[in-house]
Amino acid sequence: MTTAHAAAVAAIEKHTFAEPWSEKQIAEICGKYGVVARVCEDENGDVLGYYSYNTVCGDGYVNNIAVREDVRGKGIGKQLMRDMTYTASLYGLNGLTLEVRSSNVCARGLYESFGFKSAGVRKKFYQNTEDAIIYWLDVGGNDNFKQN
């Protein structure tokens, strides 16, 4: 992801999340040390989806992952997750962690299909009403990187 993608990513954020990141917030993470932010584009360079995570103490904390609504259910989410776990492995991270709304069966199914395990609940995390499920994926740190 570069600042050139920020407007398109912000448009998807706005359409998708109750508390979307602004174009400015998105532009600020592009190229920032310790942040991994990647987009999936179509052949015209239009943004179909994206993810970002911060590396904190050897783990990746996922900020967001989303696919543009009109192209969901076509495998782009899986492609982004494949890329996310690949970059985490490449950077020698120990794990990836994220929070997701308990009602978000689609995202939870996606994470679980990549081996993420539920590791706790943050009560009323979203707008003081809905619980967040905390997920972790053991990436394996540098040992995993050496095996590949």
Ligand X SMILES: CC(C)(COP(=O)(O)OP(=O)(O)OC[C@H]1O[C@@H](n2cnc3c(N)ncnc32)[C@H](O)[C@@H]1OP(=O)(O)O)[C@@H](O)C(=O)NCCC(=O)NCCS
User: Would you tell me which residues interact with ligand X (CB under 6 A)?
Assistant: 16, 65-67, 72-78, 98, 100, 104-107, 109-110, 113
> For residues 6 and 12, which CB has a smaller minimum distance to ligand X in the complex?
12
**How far does Cα 70 stand from its chain's mean position?**
19
- Distance separating alpha carbons of residues 49 and 141, to the nearest angstrom: 26
b/e string for 71-80 if b means 16 or more Cβ within 10 A? Answer: eeeeebbeeb
> For residues 65 and 139, which CB has a smaller minimum distance to ligand X in the complex?
65
Q: How far is the CB of 17 from ligand X (least distance, A)?
A: 7
> For residues 27 and 48, which CB has a smaller minimum distance to ligand X in the complex?
48
**How far does Cα 95 stand from its chain's mean position?**
13
Q: How far is the CB of 70 from ligand X (least distance, A)?
A: 11
